[in-house]
Amino acid sequence: MEYQLTKLAAIDIGSNAVRCQISAVLFFEGRYRLKRVEYVRYPLRLGEDVFATGEIPPAKADKFVKFLHALKLLMEVHEVPHHLICATSAMRTARNGAAVAARVKHELGLDIQVIDGQAEAAYINRVIEHLLEDNRHYLHIDVGGGSTEFNIYHARRKVAAQSFEIGSIRRMQQEESGRSVDEMNGLWQRMEGWVRENARRYHVTRAIGTGGNINKLYSMSPASPNRPITRRSVQALLDRLGGLTMNERVNVAMLNPDRADVIVPAGHIYLAAMEWAGVSSMLVPDIGLKDGMMQALFEQYFDEISPSVHPSMLPVADVENSPIQ
């Protein structure tokens, strides 16, 4: 018999979109599992304004509060006892980010944790580490709207990590303004130097990609399910999409409008990192910040969630718990 013990919710406030996932905690045949029962994504695009002006404009702040109110009601309908809300690059960059978070607390009673790149990577690490093989060394690449996180795993252990304030929206704005990434405080060169040095030091042989844009590129590629996508395939997809207008990306390639403009700038970051690391393929396991947040919630409230009649066990996340090949 399968027991539904409770529900948990994770809200990820990204630079491109706000995502809410509600998962049921199940217990079956001696194993705990997180099963997604609700997922809502809204492309609020906080980073579009913040990275251009430094602030979240009043109209977008109003929309942000309204959307979080809707998510609060959704959690109440699902009778979610525990949730976690994290905001990343756009909120931590915005001059009024703290004020908007305080408004949400005052009006809705919801606490927003504005986390840095290291904390973001630590959450994702909670689920990535369960997928690694002992004898492989990996470069994990996570590209968001405002930042890119790199992690190096050597023999199943994270040995190096770095966050860079460059992501799909920032890069798109740089390209549209006519500025090259090389002019942005040397970020691109520092990012290249970090990847090359650490990939060589730790003998990286495989890349892992997470984030909405690489998930979409993977779904458009000829790669078989659960198999890696090659660097050549990524390049071919970017060449194809780069040759299309925004209208064609939406109506021919069937991309959502909020994906159509950022997918190529994001894809170039993944591609460049693969080239710098000297790897020819990348695994795309379709996990990210929200999954790590779920894992953290589960571990935090495990004693409360776990029924006394069942033996204490290590919690597992809602991902395939098998090694990456």
- Among residues 223, 314, 308, the alpha carbon closest in space to that of 5 is found at 308
Burial of 93 (0-12, 13-18, 19+ CB in 10 A): buried
- Residue 14 or residue 4, greater confidence: 14
The span from the CA of 54 to the CA of 51, in Å, is 6
Task: Give the model's confidence band at 179: pLDDT under 50 very low, under 70 low, under 90 confident, else very high.
Answer: low
Q: What is the pLDDT of residues 10-54, one digit of tens each?
A: 999 999 999 999 999 998 877 888 999 999 999 999 999 999 999
What is the structure's pLDDT at 32? 87
What is the structure's pLDDT at 309? 43
What is the structure's pLDDT at 5? 84
- Residue 118 or residue 18, greater confidence: 18
What secondary structure, in 3-state letters, does 219-237 show? HHCCCCCCCCEEHHHHHHH
Task: Give the model's confidence band at 307: pLDDT under 50 very low, under 70 low, under 90 confident, else very high.
Answer: low
- Residue 321 or residue 226, greater confidence: 226
Question: Could you identify the residue written with the tokens 């994504």?
Answer: 41
Residue 271 parent element (H or E): helix 263-277
Mean pLDDT over each residue of the chain, to the nearest integer? 89
The span from the CA of 190 to the CA of 197, in Å, is 11
Task: Give the model's confidence band at 185: pLDDT under 50 very low, under 70 low, under 90 confident, else very high.
Answer: low
Q: What angle do CA 233, 235, 237 make, to 5 degrees?
A: 70
In this predicted structure, the answer to whether residue 197 has a pLDDT above a threshold of 90 is yes
- Residue 59 or residue 304, greater confidence: 59
What the chain holds in terms of domains, given with CATH numbers, is: 3-115+288-305 (3.30.420.40), 131-283 (3.30.420.150)
In this predicted structure, the answer to whether residue 324 has a pLDDT above a threshold of 50 is no
What is the structure's pLDDT at 183? 57
- Residue 325's identity, in one-letter code, is Q
Contact 93, 138 (CB under 8 A): no
In this predicted structure, the answer to whether residue 319 has a pLDDT above a threshold of 50 is no
What is the structure's pLDDT at 93? 94
* pTM, 2 dp: 0.87
What is the structure's pLDDT at 109? 98
In this predicted structure, the answer to whether residue 233 has a pLDDT above a threshold of 90 is yes
Read off the tokens for 93: 């960059």
What is the structure's pLDDT at 212? 93
Q: What is the pLDDT of residues 125-164, one digit of tens each?
A: 888 988 888 888 999 999 999 999 999 998 888 999 999 9
